[in-house]
Chain A
């Protein structure tokens, strides 16, 4: 899930103090001018390497906002929480990946675009426990200027990585396996699932208030943490995210059992991109791929 690359050197180019003070200034302006009622951002936690979400409502408190290379959380999850929802409009600090979540939420009518002011921070990868997250290898939105954000902060120029990402390499290996081996791989992964639903709780796009996993009459997914229910749950959750997942990979970060949800989501996101030329969370106008169709869609797999 994490990788030791040379990216930490590149991160040195970013002046986090500048980014942080810019965020604070902007937050102050937005609150003072009453353009927003809350600023959702990162604040310092007990550990410097683990910032915690903060919700600033008073312009005098903006110095509680921090920004550093450890700001890995996708804060957009809070936008759909009832307590926050009631206090629109908001401003939110987002990295490129998180900004895509915000777009996804707008597309699926969970929030109104006008209710949210996105402070898009340039990001060259975030670190968890000393290592840059593997999702950052494949990131195409390090500078969020090409996503619909209200304000871009920082301006990094990154050459797209030339070597295949760690995730892609792992995918390639999985795809080389026989079906049988792959099945065993995933069985081993899913068997560890304890059905804590942390993946779901942290996912900004798992916003159903009644999850299918808890539906009875009929119960499509066994709730017992056994192989059968675990397979169905993890498969269905991944499938529900087809064309919607923005690969923030918060689910695999949250998973206490280290299940490789990132691999599954990355695989599906790639298939969606290749099949339908669709990347989730990039465009307010584009319909999620499973809610539309093209007369010329592939049907090679259909007899």
Chain B
């Protein structure tokens, strides 16, 4: 039999002014099972809480209702008090008679009536409450970092330096990401590789970091603290444990004209290659699509020249499984290619390149050793046009968002060009200059004022090739919207700051990890303001451009933030969370798995029910308590009501609805009582 105590708060005048709290407390006494009902001026005060605690003990209460402010305000306070008095905290519920009643209604009669009904409905609910325990989930203190760019590197190092093991998976043969290919970085113009490569080496040498390069995440199962990750190690055709990285194979390989991914197509590589000199690991990989042996069946020159005999033509993809407790997604970005721009030649003009290609031309380690030349004829360009918004903020291209980094790197490009070719002209077409950031606006000003970049506010409508005085030129037609005049520039080269998009395959990875992504396939954060590096899936964190276009400082701070979140998670052996999860009554479940379809957390698994002979009779749904977040979507789709949500059970809700009188008291009649 229920023994309920009801405690009605005055909240000074806040409730008592428009609600007759004495009457509310009095009315509760007539409800079956209510043993004690009283009012007090400030329930949340120490004496107020003491009243409740004493009543719990003295009256052996099995349930408590406190009628006062919103549960968001004080539910925790009172549940803690209940616990201290020996009552399971989940047997205490809050009736919200302040925010939802006394503060929004002036009429004391109406307010009192409403407060009575609100409190009564919570009393009926509490009668259906059960003792609950917080759920504990063991945690594997080991993190997976997906992506070995600067964000992934930073996250991995932070977690590893924090004393936890890290598994890093990188899709390409080397870590480093886009940053390894950049020339110099804004706004300080320090050399990108000089600041990055020590970090790459640190990752390779760190005793807590296990590195899988040329590998991809195949599948992710499990939940926060307990993920099982299957990794596909793609066949490198080289045993990296035997290989010394001497590079002789690369030197001798007869396939010379394969566009290099690292050089963004501005240079070439061999069929067996180390992507770039500072690659980590500094071991080659065979590109089977282009290798003479793999395509034609003979050659094997690399095998012949390899001293330590590390070449493995028969290597196959290998699968490994790793247990981790947290995942950091740092899969980065890509830029769209110039083929997407028919108005700019759709990739046909050799001298129309994108920003990443320009980085390689400007880089001392690039194919031209830092000399800025035209790809078509190797001549120094006298005039370069930079187009700062190429695809970004252009709904017609399907990219309405700002790519964020282009304004800054375009200013940098113009600057680098002017530093190298003093007499050259650098035009920059822009829509707006977005240079918010420490030292950023000063940097753009420097490009304009000191380095003489010619900024034109307007867009370029068309580019075409034309021979002028025997010289091949790119005619850039645009508009200066400030001077309101059409412009035509004879350029030698055009650099498009093409839009930033997520890394290819981001959506598929998001599906594997089970975390949401937006319509452009950027990973979605749990909350744009307050949980910017957490995904909506517990235990999965985000860093860098996988989430939205970001520059290096942002990516690094994201990564450190994500690493900090991981370490918070790892600071305990067990994860404790509230007990509001769904449960399945397998007797009632008939396995239509509609619940599985609607569950946003992939918390529903299929379980076989077998007969005595061990034959599968039917399939039923089971809920993984670690994954379930307690939304209850599975219950409203379940026709048989085979599942229910602990804390918000059908019984509790039914009791609440049922508590509202079928024939309400007529307000005018109640007036008569006063």
A210 touching B654 in the complex, CB below 8 Å, given contacts A240-B639, A291-B598: no
Set B588, B591, B592, B655: member contacting A210, Cβ < 8 A: B588
Residues of B within 8 A of A208 (CB): 588, 590, 639-640
Which residue of chain B has the shortest Cβ distance to A217 in the bound complex? Answer: B651
Contact bitstring B632-650, A, C-beta under 8 A = 1, else 0? 0000010111100000001
Docked complex: B569-600 residues within 8 A CB-CB of A? 587-588, 590-594, 597-598
Q: Does B454 contact A (CB under 8 A)?
A: no
Q: How far is the CA of A220 from the CA of B641 in the complex (A)?
A: 10
A110 touching B594 in the complex, CB below 8 Å, given contacts A212-B640, A212-B641, A290-B637: no
B637 touches A291 (CB 8 A): yes
Which residue of chain A has the shortest Cβ distance to B128 in the bound complex? Answer: A218
B640 touches A109 (CB 8 A): no
Which residue of chain A has the shortest Cβ distance to B597 in the bound complex? Answer: A291
Which residue of chain B has the shortest Cβ distance to A208 in the bound complex? Answer: B640
A215 touches B619 (CB 8 A): no
A149, chain B: closest CB distance, angstroms:
22
Residues of B within 8 A of A210 (CB): 587-588, 640, 642
- Number of contacting residues on A, CB 8 A? 20
A207 touching B590 in the complex, CB below 8 Å, given contacts A212-B639, A218-B650, A291-B637: yes
Q: How far is the CA of A209 from the CA of B587 in the complex (A)?
A: 9
B622, chain A: closest CB distance, angstroms:
14
Q: How far is the CA of A287 from the CA of B654 in the complex (A)?
A: 31
Q: How large is the interface on B (under 10, 10 to 19, 20 to 34, 35 or more residues)?
A: 20 to 34
Set A108, A110, A209, A218: member contacting B654, Cβ < 8 A: A218
B654 touches A288 (CB 8 A): no
B592 touches A109 (CB 8 A): yes
Residues of B within 8 A of A207 (CB): 590, 592
Contact bitstring A288-300, B, C-beta under 8 A = 1, else 0? 1011100100000
B641 touches A215 (CB 8 A): yes
Set A110, A211, A217: member contacting B591, Cβ < 8 A: A110
Which residue of chain B has the shortest Cβ distance to A82 in the bound complex? Answer: B617
Q: How far is the CA of A292 from the CA of B598 in the complex (A)?
A: 7
Residues of A within 8 A of B591 (CB): 109-110
Residues of B within 8 A of A292 (CB): 597
Which residue of chain A has the shortest Cβ distance to B657 in the bound complex? Answer: A218
Q: How far is the CA of A109 from the CA of B597 in the complex (A)?
A: 12
B220, chain A: closest CB distance, angstroms:
22
A109 touching B639 in the complex, CB below 8 Å, given contacts A210-B588, A217-B651, A218-B654: no
Q: How far is the CA of A220 from the CA of B657 in the complex (A)?
A: 11
B424, chain A: closest CB distance, angstroms:
48
Residues of A within 8 A of B655 (CB): 218
Docked complex: B300-352 residues within 8 A CB-CB of A? none
Which residue of chain B has the shortest Cβ distance to A293 in the bound complex? Answer: B598
Residues of A within 8 A of B651 (CB): 217-218
Contact bitstring A220-233, B, C-beta under 8 A = 1, else 0? 10000000000000
B643, chain A: closest CB distance, angstroms:
12
B288, chain A: closest CB distance, angstroms:
34
A221, chain B: closest CB distance, angstroms:
11
B interface vs A, CB < 8 Å?
Answer: 519, 587-588, 590-594, 597-598, 619, 637, 639-642, 650-651, 654-655
The 9 closest A-B pairs by CB, nearest first: A218-B654, A291-B597, A208-B640, A108-B592, A210-B588, A240-B639, A291-B594, A210-B640, A208-B590
| A-B contact list, 22 entries, CB within 8 Å | A109-B592, A110-B592, A207-B592, A208-B588, A208-B590, A208-B639, A208-B640, A210-B587, A210-B640, A211-B640, A212-B640, A215-B640, A217-B651, A218-B650, A218-B651, A240-B639, A287-B597, A288-B594, A290-B637, A291-B594, A291-B598, A295-B519
Given contacts A209-B590, A211-B640, 11 further A-B contacts (CB under 8 A): A108-B592, A109-B591, A110-B591, A207-B590, A208-B590, A210-B588, A212-B640, A287-B597, A290-B594, A291-B597, A291-B598
